[in-house]
Amino acid sequence: MSKKLDALRQFLHRLDTPIAIGVSGGVDSTFLLFQSLEVKGRGGVIPVFMDSEFVTQEDRLWIEKISSQLGVHIESIQWEPLSYLEVRSNTRRRCYWCKLYMYMKLKKRMDGVAVHHILDGTQYDDLKKDRPGLNAIKKLNILTPLADFFLTKEEIRCESNKYRLVTADRPSQACLATKIEFGSTLTKGRLLDAEARMASHENRGR
């Protein structure tokens, strides 16, 4: 594990600054942000949260927790995935189109502050799953260092616990769009219903 972390940090050290990190509120992107801040310093990292109808209120609260613990401002960028027909049609390619349009918007915003690289929290285990969005990430040359240096979810959780990151034990969360079956058109109403069902299920489990 130490060799993987050393390789990750050496890679981050070589990147020109500033770099942008897409932060979702989950364990992987938070760990990547933490490592990037350790290597590049706060002046060299721009953390960004892409907020939309696909994000839960709980995710937004986690972003606040991460920002508070790491002492860094996480910029929130609002975007509207439902404005794109390819996304709201909710085919099995939805994730591809969602990631494509999301990172296109982020790249456009970051061009204005001369960001050299945008990093995503995809980790090695993600490569073994059917994730069309990864193709969009690669197409746009978004960097995925956790995956590139073979860091697994278990390893990331373990290291996150060592550093006492607030997200260390947070369960994996998928976006609200994944709660609606393929072929059913995505609407704000359906997304809100999906979030309400999730909240009800979590409350029953407590």
- pLDDT average, residue stretch 145-154: 97
Asked whether the predicted pLDDT for residue 27 surpasses 70, the reply is yes
- pLDDT number for residue 82: 98
- pLDDT number for residue 196: 93
Asked whether the predicted pLDDT for residue 49 surpasses 80, the reply is yes
Asked whether the predicted pLDDT for residue 201 surpasses 90, the reply is no
Following DSSP, what letter does each residue of 3-28 receive, concatenated? HHHHHHHHHHHHSPSPEEEE--SSHH
- pLDDT average, residue stretch 94-119: 95
Averaged pLDDT of the chain? 95
Query: What are the tens digits of pLDDT across the range 175-188?
Result: 999 999 999 999 99
Asked whether the predicted pLDDT for residue 44 surpasses 60, the reply is yes
Amino acid at 77: I
- pLDDT number for residue 200: 73
Domain covering 2-204, topology: Rossmann fold (3.40.50)
- pLDDT average, residue stretch 149-167: 97
Residue 86 pLDDT level (bands cut at 50, 70, 90): very high
- pLDDT number for residue 204: 59
- pLDDT average, residue stretch 20-38: 98
Residue 205 pLDDT level (bands cut at 50, 70, 90): low
Percent of the chain with pLDDT over 70: 97
